[in-house]
Chains A and B, each alone.
Chain A
Amino acid sequence: MPEVEFKGKKFVVDEDGFIDSYANWSEDWVQYVKSQEGIDELSDEHRKVVSMLREYYEKNGIAPMVRVLSKVTGFKLKHIYELFPSGPGKGACKMAGLPKPTGCV
């Protein structure tokens, strides 16, 4: 798997830029993904989405459905796309260090 270097830190990622392991997630990773996913400024709302995804994943072992993410954070899907232009899967889940979404995408 390829390695990316960001501000002196190294991360192992797959072709789509998802981190190899949930455990290797760090604040630097968040900053790295921000630079990749068309996000100018990290706001509290970004943080809220990321921490919700991490909490949900730790508790349930899967990423939440979009509807659950909206409900818990209170952000409409449209707003989530404003925060994460690639959307909740490719954008937010990547930043949160969750495994790559699978299935018939």
Chain B
Amino acid sequence: MAKHATPLLDQLESGPWPSFVSDIKQEAASRAKNEKGIDYQIPVDACEDLLGVMELSYVHKRTHWKHGGIVGVFGYGGGVIGRYCDQPEMFPGVAHFHTIRVNQPGGKFYTTEYLRQLCDLWELRGSGLTNMHGSTGDIVFIGTTTPQLEEIFFELTHNLNQDLGGSGSNLRTPSDCIGEARCEYACYDTQALCYALTMEYQDELHRPAFPYKFKFKFDGCPNCCVASIARSDMSFIGVWKDAIKIDQKAVQAYIGGELKPNAGAHAGRDWGKFDIQKEVLDLCPTKCMWMEGGKLVIDDKECNHCMHCINVMPRALRIGDDRGLAILVGAKAPILDGAQMGSLLVPFIKVEDPYDEIKEVIENIWDWWMEEGKNRERLGELIKRQGFQKLLEVTGIDPMPQHVQEPRHNPYIFWKEEEVPGGWQRDIKEFRKYHQR
């Protein structure tokens, strides 16, 4: 018999999608039974009390967590999100219900052995509930008490060789698309770069030193499977510089119907026979493709690497061999001054271990933003406030047409004094000699 009646939550156990309510109930039952004889370090009924407080929130249509919470482990300024229930007498199992962010591996590849170790630790010292994964990428342990934080951190680091993720005004946990691990579109090794930069900037990740949060994300190509352009202050998107590689025989196989367009992604509906003209050539945003004597031709200097043709005919078209990435900056959610996506800063940069060129761009941006950024001002807002031109100056990048979608239409153009003959120091008397009052 459950500790609290949950008639509203119970309705979420029906339907085909995996029910989080059923899963939490299952964990609650498993803890109550305790077949492995675990000496639970936080209340055994934490899961039941969580369901209880959630049911109450469903009734009240309001949250029942108190404001904020500052907890953590010694040496770090982040990694743990403190949380306390505002009805601790009613739900003592979740009076403390802190969340721990654990840094995930690149591409989120796991072995069961590793996950079992994590689960054994969390079963003993936490609620047994997780989020796989937080939107930033972390493995999220949901719900434990303050005294367990150092215990969990000790075991994570000493037994699992595993560190915490980031929280607060610092570099948050970087994350990446699956990259070269199993995608033929990857223009660089996203996991290698993500890992290298995560390790390089451990200090910035664990000890908040920034005006506000800062995120890295690494996408292997412009398909952006980790959505770096929308969800990271600095977005690294793979791209190539030379020609798309065309296998004309495979093009014919698509036209002939032996190969399914988009690798069969639209097989759930009859869209008719594949029509290369309609589905590829006419949809190319720069119209730089055509058929010539039964052969596909691409004018690569006009290609903007949108990925459409490659996505439609992955067996026939491949990314070029001269590969690198583009860096876009400033993406953020709406608060305070409106949502932003990344703006192109570096159109192409080689990706070569130890990534010195990339680190230079990062560190130049940090130097500027750490000095000039206001309290809780994201990079994207600083760029709006001080101007894209300023960003180019601090990164030492020359302005180029690729930096804009279109030129400005207002004439409020600032000039530097040294660019204007005679400068700004003018004498009104000199002017009056030629212009009477």
Chain A interface (Cβ within 8 Å of chain B)? 15-16, 18, 38, 62, 65-67, 77-78, 81, 85-90, 94, 100-105
Contact = CB atoms under 8 A, between A and B. Distances in A.
28 contacts: A15-B84, A16-B70, A16-B71, A38-B74, A65-B211, A67-B211, A67-B370, A77-B207, A77-B209, A78-B203, A78-B207, A81-B75, A81-B207, A85-B75, A86-B77, A87-B72, A87-B77, A87-B207, A89-B77, A90-B72, A90-B77, A100-B68, A100-B70, A103-B68, A104-B213, A105-B70, A105-B78, A105-B168
Nearest to B66: A15
A66 B209 contact: yes
B388 to A, nearest CB: 23
Interface in B199-227: 203, 207-211, 213
A44 to B, nearest CB: 22
Contacts, number: 67
Given A15-B96, A103-B376, A105-B78, A89 B68 contact: no
A62 B68 CA distance: 17
Contact of A86 (B72, B96, B210): B72
A105 B167 contact: yes
B100 to A, nearest CB: 14
Contacts of B74: 38, 85-86
Interface string B156-169: 00000000000111
B336 to A, nearest CB: 12
Nearest to A93: B70
Interface string B140-168: 00000010000000000000000000011
B140 to A, nearest CB: 15
A105 B207 contact: no
A105 B68 contact: yes
A90 B70 CA distance: 6
B375 interface: yes
Interface residues of B, number: 31
A88 B68 contact: no
A38 B150 CA distance: 12
Contacts of A38: 74
Given A87-B76, A87-B77, A103-B376, A67 B209 contact: yes
Nearest to B211: A65
B256 interface: no
Given A88-B77, A90-B77, A66 B208 contact: yes
Contacts of B67: 102
A39 to B, nearest CB: 10
Nearest to B71: A16
Contacts of A62: 375
B387 interface: no
A93 B409 CA distance: 48
A38 B371 CA distance: 31
B307 interface: no
A100 B67 CA distance: 10
Contacts of B84: 15
B399 interface: no
A24 B82 CA distance: 24
Given A66-B209, A104-B167, A105-B167, 9 more contacts: A16-B69, A16-B82, A18-B70, A67-B371, A85-B75, A87-B207, A87-B208, A90-B72, A100-B68
Interface in B61-112: 66-72, 74-78, 81-82, 84, 96
A15 B226 CA distance: 37
A89 B208 contact: yes
Nearest to B77: A87
Q: Which are the 10 A-B pairs with shortest beta-carbon distances?
A: A87-B77, A85-B74, A16-B70, A105-B168, A15-B84, A77-B209, A38-B74, A90-B70, A102-B68, A65-B375
Nearest to B95: A15
A18 B68 CA distance: 12
B153 to A, nearest CB: 12
Contacts of A65: 211, 375
A11 B260 CA distance: 72
B186 to A, nearest CB: 32
Contacts of A77: 207, 209
> Which of B66, B71, B210 has most chain A Cβ within 10 Å?
B71
